[in-house]
Amino acid sequence: MVQRKPKVYVVGVGMTPFVKPQSRPDWDYPDMVKEAVTEALTDAKLQYTDIQQAAVSWIYGTTCSGQRALYELGFTGIPIFNVNNACASGSSGVFLCKQILESGNADCVLSVGFEKMAPGSLESMAGNLNDRAQPIENHIGVMSETYGLFPAPITCQMFGNAGKEHMEKYGTKREHFAKIAYKNHLHSVHNPKSQFRKEFTLDQVINARKIYDFVGLLECSPTSDGSAAIVMCSEKFLDKYPHLKSQAVEIVGMEMGTDEPSVFKDNSNIKMIGFDMIEKISKRLYKNTGLTPKDVQVIELHDCFAPNELITYEAIGLCPIGKGGEIVDKNDNTYGGRWVINPSGGLISKGHPIGATGVAQVVELSNQLRGRCGKRQVPNCKVAMQHNIGIGGAGIVALYRLGFSDTSTPKKPITSSPGTLRTDALFEEIKERAREEPDTVKKVNASFRINVIGENGTSKKWTIDLKKFPPFIGNSDSKVDCEVTIKDNDLVTLASGKLTPDQAFMQGKMKIKGNMAKALKLKTVLDPKKLKAKL
C-alpha cells in the first residue's frame, strides 16, 4: 500500500505586472520580488516572519540573488534556496517547497520567481561561456541534423521545427498554431497583470513579422521583467491559522521529470523539445491522483511558442497523438469549450520572465479556483492543471483544487460576519474591484484613509492607495492624500446610494482632512452601482 503524502496547500498568491524589459528603468529585481511577496503575504494575512524557508527561482543574475531580493523583506535567517532549471525554474521552486513541507522540515514556505531581462532574444543575454560545454548543445545537434541551423533565435528554431514536423507527420495546418496565439492574446485582454492586453485578428497573427520560418512575432513569448510569489503551507499550519482554510488551494499532485533517451536517439524535433518527458510524468500524475483530463476545467500551459501548446495537448493526454489540431478546430481550448487553456494569456501574451513563469501559473490557477479572476473567470472551475517545461531539460505537471470546498464560497457575494463592522465586507469588495479594474485605479490615482466608527465604539482604519500598482487596500500608516472619518452605519448608507458624499459632508456625517479635490474621487471608489456586498 502506497503511503499517503502529507497534503500541501497554496494559501497566498501575488505577482507584479509583467512588463517589457527596461520599460521601468528604476525597477530592479529586489523591487519586483518585494512587490510580489508583499502581495502574497497580504493575501494570506501573514507576515514575512511566518515564512520558515524559501525557494527563489531565476535564470539571469549572479550568485545569491535570492537572498539579495528577500533581504528587502527582512533578515530572518531562514534557509533560502536559489533555483535555476531553465524555463521550468519557477515550478521547480514550487516542487522543492512542496517536498520541504512534505518532509516535515517546515510548515510555511515561500516560492518566488523573478527575472530582469533584456529586449530581444535569449541569446542576447548569454554570457561569454565558450570555454565549457553548453547545456543544450546536444539538443541543437538533433535540430541541426534534421532541419539545419539558421541565423534566428535558437529556441524559436527548436519549437518551430517541432511544429514543422507535426505538420509533416499529421497534416496539422499553419493556421492551427496561429489560432492558438490569437486565442491567448484574446484571453489576456482581461488580465491586468499581462504584458500585452491587445486583441489581434487572426490575419494579424498570420502576417506578423516572421522570426523563424512560419513562426511570427505574435506566436512567440516575449522577454519580460516581473516576479510572482506564492505562500505554501502544511495541514498542521492550517490548523494553527484556520482563517486560511477558506482560500487554501491543495496541490493534489505534482510530478517532475527530465529528458528521456528519445530526445537524442529518435532524430525527432518533437521528442527533442521534451514530448516523452511530459507524456511520462503526465501519466504518472493521473495515476497517482486518480484524476484524468476529463476532471480538469482550466489549464495554464507552457506556450513559449504556439506550436508547443498544440503539441502539449497531446503530451498531457487531452487528445490522441496527432489530433491536437482538432482541439483547436472545435474551440475546446477556450471559453465555451472542453477546457480553458491559458486564461491568463499564457507566456505568449502575459509575458515570460523566465524564473517567474512557473510561479505565475500557480497564481493564475489559484485565483481561478478561488473565483477571483473577474471577466476571465472560468465558470464552474473545480480542478486546474499546470504544465511548465525547460529545454535541457526539465518538465513539471501538477493538479490543483480547493482544499476545503465546504468552507470556500468564492462565487457568492461577500457578506459581513458577526463581530465585525458592517462595512468590512465593503472594503473587501473594493480590494477585489481594484485588482480587476486597473483602468478605474488609474482614473482615481489617489490615496485615502477612512476611519470607520462602529456603534459599540469599535473603530477601524482602512487605507486605500490607488496611486501605485498593485493597489493597496488594508491597514497602513502610510501618508495619504486625504483622511475621512465616518460612522459605520453612515458609510453603509453612502455605499448603498441612499446618501451622496456631498450630502454626508454637508450634514456633518463625514469629516474630511487633506486634499478635498482628491476626496471627491471617493465617489468613483464607492460607486453604489457596483456594490455587490451585503451590508
Mean pLDDT in residue range 374-395: 96
- pLDDT tens digit sequence for 257-290: 999 999 999 999 999 999 999 999 999 999 999 9
Confidence band, pLDDT 50/70/90 cuts, at residue 134: confident
Lowest mean pLDDT among 30-44, 131-145, 384-398, 427-441: 427-441
Superfamily of 424-530 according to CATH:
SCP2 sterol-binding domain (3.30.1050.10)
H helix count then E strand count, the chain? 21, 17
CA–CA dist 296, 400 (Å, integer): 9
| Confidence at 48, pLDDT banded by 50, 70, 90 | very high
Answer whether 66's CB lies under 8 Å from 80's CB.
Answer: yes
322 or 416, higher pLDDT: 322
Q: Rounded mean pLDDT of the chain? A: 91
Question: What average pLDDT does range 170-188 have in this prediction?
Answer: 97
Residue 414 reports pLDDT greater than 60: no
pTM: 0.76
Residue 51 near residue 100, CB atoms below 8 Å:
no
- pLDDT of amino acid 292: 98
- One of 3.40.47.10, 1.10.1240.10, 3.40.50.80, 3.40.50.2300 is the CATH number of 8-120+222-402, namely 3.40.47.10
Residue linked to cell 474591484? 433
Residue 116 near residue 359, CB atoms below 8 Å: no
* CA distances (Å), origin 219, targets 26, 61, 346, 526: 29, 27, 11, 41
Domain boundaries, the chain: 8-120+222-402, 424-530
Q: What mean pLDDT do residues 173-191 have?
A: 97
Who contacts 135 (Cβ-Cβ below 8 Å, separation ≥6)?
Answer: 86, 392
